[in-house]
Amino acid sequence: MGQSLTLGTRATTGAALAVLSAISFSHLLNDMLQSLLPAIYPVLKARYGLSFGQIGAITLVNQLTASVLQPVVGHVTDRKAMPYSLPVGMGFTLVGLLLLSAAGSYAALLFAVAFVGIGSSVFHPESSRVARLASGGRHGFAQSLFQVGGNAGAALGPLLAAFVVVPDGQPAIAWFALAALLGMAVLTYVGGWYRAHEASPVVARRAAAAPVSGRVVLIMAMLLVLMLSKFFYTASMSNYYTFYLIHRFHLPVREAQYCLFVFLAAFAAGTFLGGPIGDRIGRKRVISVSIIGVLPFTLALPHLGLAATIVATVPIGLLLASAFPAIVVYAQEMMPGRVGTVAGLMFGFAFGLGGIGAAVLGKLADATSIATVYELCAWLPALGLVALWLPDPERGVRAAAR
C-alpha cells in the first residue's frame, strides 16, 4: 500500500499526466479503428450478399483474435515489461485495415479482421497498466479516462464510416491507416516514458503476486457473469442496432448510424463517470447500480417508438458503461501483483463475449427476426443481480471515515 501511495504521489503531474492523456488518445484511435468494422456491415452485407450469421462470424473472428491473446500478453508482461509492444500492436491494426480495404472475398474479409483483432489484443493489457502507473493513486479515474478514450473512438467510428466509407465504398477504409500511423507515433512516445518508469527502483521491485485463493476465484467468476450480461447486450447494440432501426422504422443507413452514435456517445460518457464515482462511493455500489439499474430501460426498448427508442439508449449506454472501469479496478484490487493478467482477462473476456454474442445473435436474427433479438436481450441485465453478492472491500474504510 505504501508503495502505491509513493508511486501515486510522484505520478500526479507533468509527464505522467501527459502520458495518461496520450494513452487515452491512443485508445480513442485504436477503438475508433476497431469500430469501423460493425459500422460498415451494411456496406459489406450489400456488396457480398452476407447473411446475419456471416456478419456475426466476421465479428466472432475479429473479437476472438482481439480476446484470446490478451490474458497471455498480460501474464507475460507482468513478468517482463514490453513498452514498445504498444506501437507494434497498432502496426497490426494498420496492416489489417489495408487488407480490409482491398479484400475481394468473404475469406479475405475474415483474414483482414483477424489482423485488426490481433492489434487490439496487444494494445489493451499494457496500455491499461500504463494508465494505472500514471494514475497518481486515483485508479478508478485513470481507468475511466483510459477507457473513455476507447469509447469515444468507438462512437466516432460509425460517424466517420457514414461520411467516408458509405459514400466511397470499401476501398475508402484505407484512409484510416493514417490514424493508425498517428497512433504508432503517440505510442512510441508512451513506450519511452513507460520504459523509463519501469526502470525506477519503486516499480522494478514488484511484489510477488500472492497465491489466488478459492474466494478470489469465486469473486472473479461472479465478475465474469456480470461481464456476460453487459457485453452480450452491448454486442446487440453495437452490431445490430442499425439493422433494428432500418427494419422497424425504415431508416436509411446513414440516419441509423447517427442513432448508433447517440448510444455510443452515452456509452463513452458512462465510462468516464464510472471510475471517479467508484473512487468516491465504492466499486461495488457502482457495479450494482449500473448493471441492475439498466433493466427497466432494456425491457422497455423493444416496445418504444423511434424517438423514445433513441432517448432510451442514452441511459442504457450510460448505465451499462459505468460498470466496466469499476469492474476492472475491483478485479485488480482482488489480485494485486497481476495487473496485466487481470487487464488482459477482463478486456479479453469482454472482446470474446462481444464476438460470441454477435455470432449467436446473428444466427438468432436469421432464424427469427432482428426484433426478436431485442426482445430476448432485454432480459440479459437481470444476470446483474449476482452483483448483490459481491463483497464490499471498501466498507470498512467508509465506516472508519465516519
- Segment 206-222, tens digit of pLDDT: 444 556 677 878 888 88
Q: How many domains does the chain have?
A: 1
Between 319 and 396, the higher pLDDT residue = 319
Calculated CA dihedral for residues 281, 285, 291, 295, nearest 10 degrees: -100
Q: Judge whether residue 370 has pLDDT over 50.
A: yes
**pLDDT value at residue 182:** 96
Alpha helix (H) residue ranges in 250-305: 253-281, 283-292, 295-300
The whole-angstrom separation of Cα 134 and Cα 10 is 9
Averaged pLDDT, 30-59: 85
**pLDDT value at residue 398:** 45
Q: Judge whether residue 8 has pLDDT over 70.
A: no
Angle between helices 306-334 and 339-367 (to 10 degrees): 150
- Give me the DSSP letters along 104-165: -SHHHHHHHHHHHHHHHHHHHHHHHHHHHHTSTT-HHHHHHHHHHHHHHHHHHHHHHIIIII
Is pTM beyond 0.75 here?
no
Range scoring the smallest mean pLDDT among 82-86, 131-135, 149-153, 342-346:
342-346
Mean pLDDT of the chain: 81
The range of the structural domain enclosing residue 85 comes to: 2-401
**pLDDT value at residue 316:** 95
The whole-angstrom separation of Cα 326 and Cα 223 is 11
Q: Judge whether residue 6 has pLDDT over 50.
A: no
CB 238 within 8 A of CB 350: no
**pLDDT value at residue 112:** 93
**pLDDT value at residue 201:** 42
**pLDDT value at residue 311:** 96
Q: Judge whether residue 337 has pLDDT over 60.
A: yes
pLDDT digits (tens, 9 = 90+) for 178-216: 999 999 999 999 988 888 776 444 444 344 455 667 787
SS3 402: coil
The pLDDT-based confidence of 223 (bands split at 50, 70, 90) is: confident
**pLDDT value at residue 198:** 65
**pLDDT value at residue 180:** 93
pLDDT digits (tens, 9 = 90+) for 96-133: 999 998 888 899 999 999 999 888 888 877 887 788 78
| CB neighbourhood size of 283 (10 A) | 27
**pLDDT value at residue 62:** 83
Range scoring the smallest mean pLDDT among 215-229, 305-319, 369-383:
215-229
Averaged pLDDT, 255-280: 83
pLDDT digits (tens, 9 = 90+) for 347-368: 777 767 777 787 788 889 889 9
Range scoring the smallest mean pLDDT among 22-26, 266-270, 391-395:
391-395
Range scoring the smallest mean pLDDT among 12-16, 187-191, 369-373:
12-16
154: left (phi over 0), alpha (psi -120 to 50) or beta: alpha
The whole-angstrom separation of Cα 319 and Cα 143 is 16
**pLDDT value at residue 13:** 56
Residue among 329, 22, 73 at smallest CA distance from 192: 22
Q: How many helices (H) and strands (E) does the chain have?
A: 19, 0
Q: Judge whether residue 26 has pLDDT over 90.
A: yes
**pLDDT value at residue 210:** 54
CB 284 within 8 A of CB 330: yes
- CATH number of the structural domain spanning residue 324: 1.20.1250.20
- Start-to-end CA distance of the chain, whole Å, equals 22
